[in-house]
Amino acid sequence: MAGPVDGLPPLVDHHCHGVLRHEPDAGTFASYLTESDRPPAAGTTFFDTQTGFAVRRWCPPLLDLPAHCPPADYLARRRALGPDETRRRLLRAAGIGAYLLDTGLPGDLTGPGETAAAGGGTGHEVVRLETLAERTAAGFRAAAGRAAGTADAGEFTEVLAGAVAHAARTAVAFKSVAAYRHGLALDPTPPADDAVRDAVRGWLAAGAPRLTDPVLLRHLIALAVATGRPLQLHTGFGDPDLRLDHADPALLTGLARTTAGTGTDLVLLHCYPYHRQAAYLASVFPHVYADVGLTLTHTGPRATAVLAEFLELAPFGKLLFSTDAYGLPELYAVGAALFRTALAGVLGEWTASGAWSAADARRVGAMIAAENARRVYRLPAGED
Amino acid sequence: MAGPVDGLPPLVDHHCHGVLRHEPDAGTFASYLTESDRPPAAGTTFFDTQTGFAVRRWCPPLLDLPAHCPPADYLARRRALGPDETRRRLLRAAGIGAYLLDTGLPGDLTGPGETAAAGGGTGHEVVRLETLAERTAAGFRAAAGRAAGTADAGEFTEVLAGAVAHAARTAVAFKSVAAYRHGLALDPTPPADDAVRDAVRGWLAAGAPRLTDPVLLRHLIALAVATGRPLQLHTGFGDPDLRLDHADPALLTGLARTTAGTGTDLVLLHCYPYHRQAAYLASVFPHVYADVGLTLTHTGPRATAVLAEFLELAPFGKLLFSTDAYGLPELYAVGAALFRTALAGVLGEWTASGAWSAADARRVGAMIAAENARRVYRLPAGED
Amino acid sequence: MAGPVDGLPPLVDHHCHGVLRHEPDAGTFASYLTESDRPPAAGTTFFDTQTGFAVRRWCPPLLDLPAHCPPADYLARRRALGPDETRRRLLRAAGIGAYLLDTGLPGDLTGPGETAAAGGGTGHEVVRLETLAERTAAGFRAAAGRAAGTADAGEFTEVLAGAVAHAARTAVAFKSVAAYRHGLALDPTPPADDAVRDAVRGWLAAGAPRLTDPVLLRHLIALAVATGRPLQLHTGFGDPDLRLDHADPALLTGLARTTAGTGTDLVLLHCYPYHRQAAYLASVFPHVYADVGLTLTHTGPRATAVLAEFLELAPFGKLLFSTDAYGLPELYAVGAALFRTALAGVLGEWTASGAWSAADARRVGAMIAAENARRVYRLPAGED
């Protein structure tokens, strides 16, 4: 009998990142298995995590090794194959038809087209607002050839608005990492023009460092919302820069209210351990969506239970698959495999008990895997 | 072998609402499947939710259709049977012996006796404090025939106290929706008399609009607590008027402390996704209880897991069944069916593993289904 | 085939308390089944909780009675055996090799060596900071023979620092209950010297009552961190003194940042219902650990699910077993039995599905059961 994920369409990975172009050493490889930016505790290794175990489960067979082989064997085989062949094998196995790739992270990483080419799909860009602002400021200051002064604040504000509008022509979405930069307890209304100019002036005068000013973070969100492109928002867990309880998506309730009716969708990324809160917001605000990525990748065999928790309140048309893969092509393979496993687990259990019909289960599986994202990001239906 | 829910007594639904007296159109029907007061997102339907799927699982067979039939077929059959026969069939199937019905919602809805008559049980009234205050103010202002002035504040305060005392003679409980009107981060002490009069004066002068003044919300709670009737408090998820994290029942810790020893019980409604917090409060405060309703109805096949989470810390004498059904008799049928399924699931698993004895499981099932509520609300043991 | 917990080493119980030296009466016995310090609700008993049911499942067979026998039978048998034999049987069954015992609770309780002797392991002391300060103040005031004045503040501050340093010579860890005394939203930086002296002066002048001053709580944490001994911090649920949401371990993010690089480890105790938050902190900060005790004891057959939730984000080298047993030797037997059952459940399921290898499962089981604690608390490897 066909299972609920047989016949699933190619996945739409609506939030991911580039992978390293070159072979990482063992320490670099392990550092991508965790959201931490710090070394492992003495006596421990990042391989001893659900992500590490999931990589060892799913990836060695794709490189002709037995599942759960020791990390050293896996890394040796990876080196022998080289980064291009490794990437090709791991990405092909993921079965992803469209990659919506956030290009705002540093490093020698593959871009949207390059990633998609290796995986056999199409690539699309997601523009990270804070990175766009920082890059625009760097260019503006270099062009001005001097520290930006009072007169420049208004000019830069226009340049920045132009940069967001320009990006919206080709990007499929914007992304905000305000959760990292300030926390999500932001005033949900756009800041006044003069407040923006004052904040811009202060930021430029300070040399346009890492953007953390809440006025500017709110202004970027307002600029993005005005474009009509879906806005992805980091919520929930991440690296230790973030204060977890300040990343609770419930803190975005005000933004959900002020953006209702604008025609712009908000997509809550990651969400964990507040995924039930995110699902609630997706259930009561028509323009709010939630994402299961990252969370499934990091929870291994618990991905099934966590996906089930998402599916308590989230309407089935409001949940989106992603991998949030970053740096390692392994994270694409693992994210896709855990998603398929988790989806098969929950849908299989619910159809077996009679709670859901098999036809409904197949339909909902396809919605979460690809169709919801195609609708939200206005991707062509059959092209990818 | 008898399962753990065989022989369960008729349920006591300690928190529910009336159902529509007339046949709803398709859009109206769907709008009752969600807590949202907004339209579904473009390309989605409220039928594609756990509540929608649960209705399609449990209700068509009660109307002579196959489970999981298309919504249009179901609605057509419902129309053919008419609202009275539909209501009768769905309510009878729920197996509810006592309905404790909150009469504070607007609409052409069945009352406690009318609902109970259709279902074959007895009806009791739960009085919603904020609605009582608003209705009392409307009557007071109409009788005064003018905008209420300074002198009226003291008078209205007395009228309001009388209205609460009067309601306590027949109502089995009061209910507060302070979570919607202000959030639960309220000062847990009763406001001073002059603060109440000032707030009353301001509210009457403004035309007694939707009651959101925290002083008046606290005053209503204090009036209700003074009657000795159990006080139901909305906590956790609901419609988007509510800010979810401001409805965390942990915010009621102060109220639990200040009402300890008054002899009045507090019943935390819904609770999700903070049901573990609610269970904790029920475990440490003798007069605090928690409710599994609404949450089970909205989580479909996940109701088993959610009930299990409630049953981690909640003492077994502190958990109460409800449906929180509103508008559609389907929500009574679904709420009761999911409760029985979830209860059979958790108790069955725990007895099968040897963690619980079968006798204890049956005893605890009856407590949650009916006995705890009969004790808390002082309902006659065998009458309903 | 050997299961994943066969061959588990003797457990290291890294956080526990003494047990009553004398036979408790029925009411006293029941009061230790709950974290509440209040009586049960009318019509209920603390035996009707997961802890009560777990005691009835695991302990009667150790005293020659059938599992799930009535509480009265169990208590009668317990009296017949006497407290020493009861303690010996229940502790031996727990299979604990090392007891790290918090000596800061009042009552006629067994000490670390006494507890360990009954159980057949070794005992170690965990010093509760607030109790140490209160006891030191009582001794200081008695020695001074008068109410402490201005001149004494500096002197007491030195005496207190000496007491902490002295305790660090023999204790394996310190413990803070700031969650109970103030909540965890404390300024994460050590207070300035003059602020400490002012706070000491005020506290001594008031007669050194229960220590709740946030400056002194922070100062105690700073003194403990300076010793290099691991610092255990109460987080999550406990008795109703505590406001649950103020005990969310996410509130310790600031302390995790300010203590990074000091060489001192932080161990988050209990954590529930914020155990996913605790696991997150353990995943991003190398020196942060999380504890599964208390939580497993109080959740009965749900311990398996709760342990699984811990194991979503927590690196496997960062999770520690404990019982948090207090007062009753039953809580040692139950805590250890539920831990073994839960561990066998999660590891068994994950190896059966192929998600984990059997060798990894055994290795991770031993880490959580004993090895992580031996490393963190620098216990000898084979001695206990």
pLDDT in tens, B75-131: 999 999 999 999 999 999 999 999 999 999 989 999 999 999 999 999 999 999 999
Substitution target in C316, C353, C371, C372 with the highest count of A β-carbons within 10 Å is: C316
Which residues lie below 8 Å from residue C384, measured CB to CB, with a gap of 6+? C10, C12, C97, C98, C121, C122
- Mean pLDDT of the region B240-261: 96
Please report the pLDDT score of residue C384 as a whole number. Answer: 44
C273 has a chain B CB within 8 A of its CB: yes
Please report the pLDDT score of residue C382 as a whole number. Answer: 57
A243 has a chain C CB within 8 A of its CB: yes
For B355, the closest of C34, C245, C300 (CB atoms) is C300
3-state secondary structure of B134: helix
> Which chain C residues contact residue B246 at CB under 8 A?
none
- Whether B317 sits inside 8 A of C45 (CB atoms) is yes
- Categorise residue C236: left if φ over 0, alpha if ψ from -120 to 50, beta otherwise: left
B297 has a chain A CB within 8 A of its CB: no
**How far does C58 lie from chain B, in Å, by closest CA?**
9
Question: Within chain A, which residues score under 70 in pLDDT?
Answer: 1-2, 146-151, 382-384
3-state secondary structure of B66: coil
- Whether C67 sits inside 8 A of B312 (CB atoms) is no
- Mean pLDDT of the region B10-39: 96
Closest CA to B372 of B278, B277, B265, B296: B265
B355 has a chain C CB within 8 A of its CB: yes
Spatial distance between the Cα atoms of A59 and A68, rounded to a whole number of angstroms: 9
| Preceding peptide of C191 cis, ω within 30° | no
> Which chain A residues contact residue C315 at CB under 8 A?
34, 40-41, 44, 46, 48-49
Please report the pLDDT score of residue C144 as a whole number. Answer: 80
Tell which wins on pLDDT, B382 or B371.
Answer: B371
C313 has a chain A CB within 8 A of its CB: yes
Substitution target in A44, A294, A341 with the highest count of C β-carbons within 10 Å is: A44
Indicate the residue type of C24. P
Spatial distance between the Cα atoms of A18 and A327, rounded to a whole number of angstroms: 6
- Mean pLDDT of the region C4-13: 91
User: Do residues A295 and A236 lie in contact, with contact meaning Cβ atoms separated by under 8 Å?
Assistant: yes
Looking at the DSSP bridge assignments, the partners of residue A291 are: A320
> Which chain A residues contact residue B306 at CB under 8 A?
312
In this structure, chain C runs to a length of 384
- Whether C315 sits inside 8 A of A243 (CB atoms) is no
B146 has a chain A CB within 8 A of its CB: no
Closest CA to B63 of B52, B74, B47: B74
pLDDT tens-digit readout, C178-200: 999 999 999 999 999 999 999 99
3-state secondary structure of C128: strand
Work out whether the CA dihedral B234, B236, B238, B241 comes out positive or negative.
positive
> Which chain B residues contact residue C244 at CB under 8 A?
250, 253, 277, 280-281
Least confident of A134-148, A215-229, B160-174, B310-324: A134-148
Indicate the residue type of B17. H
A300 has a chain C CB within 8 A of its CB: yes
pLDDT tens-digit readout, A96-110: 999 999 999 989 999
> Which chain A residues contact residue C280 at CB under 8 A?
237, 244, 273
Residue of chain B whose Cα is closest to the Cα of C305? B309
pLDDT tens-digit readout, A206-252: 999 999 999 999 999 999 999 999 999 999 999 888 999 999 999 99
Please report the pLDDT score of residue B151 as a whole number. Answer: 65
Strand order in the sheet with B11-16: B11-16, B96-102, B122-128, B173-176, B231-235, B266-270, B288-291, B319-320
For B250, the closest of C37, C68, C244 (CB atoms) is C244
> Which chain A residues contact residue C308 at CB under 8 A?
302, 305
- Rounded to the nearest 5 degrees, what angle is found at the Cα of A348, between the Cα atoms of A343 and A354? 135
A263 has a chain B CB within 8 A of its CB: no
- Whether A354 sits inside 8 A of B54 (CB atoms) is no
Residue of chain C whose Cα is closest to the Cα of B365? C48
Please report the pLDDT score of residue C191 as a whole number. Answer: 98
> Which chain B residues contact residue C35 at CB under 8 A?
283-284
Tokens (6 digits) for B18:
């009336």
Task: Check whether C321 has a pLDDT greater than 60.
Answer: yes
> Which chain B residues contact residue C43 at CB under 8 A?
317, 375
> Which chain A residues contact residue B38 at CB under 8 A?
260, 284-286
B66 has a chain A CB within 8 A of its CB: no
Which residues lie below 8 Å from residue A255, measured CB to CB, with a gap of 6+? A186, A188, A221, A266
Q: Which of residues 16-55 of A touch C (CB under 8 A)?
A: 34-46, 48-50, 53-54
C73 has a chain B CB within 8 A of its CB: no
pLDDT tens-digit readout, C261-319: 999 999 999 999 999 999 999 999 999 999 999 999 999 999 999 999 999 999 999 99
Spatial distance between the Cα atoms of C368 and C321, rounded to a whole number of angstroms: 6
C286 has a chain B CB within 8 A of its CB: no
Please report the pLDDT score of residue B384 as a whole number. Answer: 44
Burial string for A355-372 (b: 16+ CB within 10 Å, else e) reads: bbbbebbbebbbbbbbbb
Neighbours of A128 (CB within 10 A): 24
User: Do residues B339 and B7 lie in contact, with contact meaning Cβ atoms separated by under 8 Å?
Assistant: no
- Whether C46 sits inside 8 A of B355 (CB atoms) is no
Work out whether the CA dihedral A162, A163, A164, A165 comes out positive or negative.
positive
For B237, the closest of A280, A308, A357 (CB atoms) is A280
Spatial distance between the Cα atoms of B248 and B270, rounded to a whole number of angstroms: 11
**How far does C380 lie from chain B, in Å, by closest CA?**
36
**Band of the pLDDT at B186, cuts 50, 70, 90?**
very high
Q: Give the percent of chain C with pLDDT over 90.
A: 92
**How far does A367 lie from chain B, in Å, by closest CA?**
10
Indicate the residue type of C375. R
Residue of chain A whose Cα is closest to the Cα of C317? A44
- Whether C50 sits inside 8 A of B349 (CB atoms) is no
**How far does B327 lie from chain C, in Å, by closest CA?**
34
| Preceding peptide of B273 cis, ω within 30° | yes
pLDDT tens-digit readout, C207-232: 999 999 999 999 999 999 999 999 99
Q: What is the DSSP string of C136-200?
A: HHHHHHHHHTS---HHHHHHHHHHHHHHHHHHHHH-SEEEE-HHHHT-S---SSPPPHHHHHHHH
> Which chain B residues contact residue A318 at CB under 8 A?
41, 44
> Which chain C residues contact residue A68 at CB under 8 A?
356-357, 359-360
**How far does C37 lie from chain B, in Å, by closest CA?**
7
A317 has a chain B CB within 8 A of its CB: yes
- Whether B41 sits inside 8 A of A287 (CB atoms) is yes
**How far does B27 lie from chain A, in Å, by closest CA?**
15
Please report the pLDDT score of residue C359 as a whole number. Answer: 97
For chains A and C, count residue pairs whose Cβ atoms are closer than 8 Å: 101
A381 has a chain B CB within 8 A of its CB: no
Tell if the pTM clears 0.95, that is, is over it: yes
Burial string for C336-367 (b: 16+ CB within 10 Å, else e) reads: bbbbbbbbbbbbbbbbeeebbbbebbbebbbb
Looking at the DSSP bridge assignments, the partners of residue C98 are: C12, C122
Q: Which residue has the tokens 């709008």?
A: B31
Spatial distance between the Cα atoms of B153 and B204, rounded to a whole number of angstroms: 8
Residue of chain C whose Cα is closest to the Cα of B288? C41
Please report the pLDDT score of residue B150 as a whole number. Answer: 55
pLDDT tens-digit readout, B25-68: 999 999 999 999 999 999 999 999 999 999 999 999 999 999 99
**How far does C176 lie from chain B, in Å, by closest CA?**
22
Neighbours of C151 (CB within 10 A): 9
Q: Over chain A, what HEC string results?
A: CCCCCCCCCCEEEEEECCEECCCCCHHHHHHCCCCCCCCCCCCCCCCCCHHHHHHHHHCHHHHCCCCCCCHHHHHHHHHHHHHHHHHHHHHHHHCEEEEEEECCCCCCECCHHHHHHHHCCEEEEEEEHHHHHHHHHHHHHHHHCCCCCHHHHHHHHHHHHHHHHHHHHHCCEEEECHHHHCCCCCCCCCCCHHHHHHHHHHHHHCCCCCCCCHHHHHHHHHHHHHHCCCEEEEECCCCCCCCHHHHCHHHHHHHHHHHCCCCCCEEEEECCCCHHHHHHHHHHCCCEEEECCCHHHHHHHHHHHHHHHHHHHCCHHHEECCCCCCECCHHHHHHHHHHHHHHHHHHHHHHHCCCCCHHHHHHHHHHHHHHHHHHHCCCCCCCC
Chains in contact with C, where contact requires at least 3 CB pairs less than 8 Å apart: A, B
Please report the pLDDT score of residue C147 as a whole number. Answer: 54
Residue of chain C whose Cα is closest to the Cα of B273? C273
Task: Check whether B149 has a pLDDT greater than 80.
Answer: no
Spatial distance between the Cα atoms of A104 and A313, rounded to a whole number of angstroms: 32
**What letter would DSSP give residue B21?**
S
A348 has a chain C CB within 8 A of its CB: no
Superfamily of domain covering A11-19+94-376: Metal-dependent hydrolases (3.20.20.140)
Spatial distance between the Cα atoms of C186 and C196, rounded to a whole number of angstroms: 15
